[in-house]
Amino acid sequence: MKEVLFIHSAGPQGHYEGSDFLVSYLRKKLGDEYAVVCPEMPDPENPHYDEWREKLAEEFSSFNDDIMVIGHSLGGSVLLKYLSETTRTSSISGIFIIAAPYWGEPDWEVDEYILETNFPSKLPGTPEVFLYHCKDDEVVPVNHLERYAEELPNAHVREFDRGGHLFSKGLPELVQDIKSI
């Protein structure tokens, strides 16, 4: 069974809230061949990087080698920060970042989440990085995708006209990309 670690967005995470749509969609579409684990991150309605980093360290220690990691919104930016600032013994076969804010952009200046300037060089030796964002995202402007694409020129960039921030109708391209690894 292939292991997938999904790090959810900030904000409420109940049924039909936050990343619940995407997690439910992935579990249904990926089926029994994949174990999609979505831990509850600390205080998602008032998140702090240090607390999320500690939770990520705990989660990564429980996985076998060769996992896939997905981050939605804040979960995506925190995941990239964590992966670029820590050393792990397990390998990662794919990084999937969905509608993530690029901290440091105008109106998004929150120091605790800002990536180091050379963060791409510190990411694990991962063969595949995928970036997903919608032009109609009502929370994180699509220009944040462009910033990540500049920093990660080898990433597969998936930009959509519609889908909003939550991708409440699913993300078939994500399922296809996961299965391609």
Distance CA 124, CA 30 (A): 25
Give the residue from 18, 148, 153, 12 showing the smallest Cα distance to 73.
Answer: 18
> What is the model's pLDDT at position 157?
98
Q: What is the mean pLDDT of residues 45-60?
A: 96
Domain limits of the chain? 2-180
> What is the model's pLDDT at position 144?
98
Distance CA 59, CA 36 (A): 13
- Tell if the pTM clears 0.85, that is, is over it: yes
Tens-place pLDDT, residues 99-126: 999 999 999 999 999 999 999 999 887 6
Tens-place pLDDT, residues 14-52: 998 999 999 999 999 999 999 999 999 999 999 999 999
Tens-place pLDDT, residues 61-75: 988 778 999 999 999
CA 154, chain centre distance (Å): 17
Let me know if domain 2-180 sits in CATH 3.40.930.10. Answer: no
Cβ pair 73, 139 in contact under 8 A: yes
Distance CA 86, CA 114 (A): 15
| 59 confidence band (pLDDT: 50, 70, 90) | very high
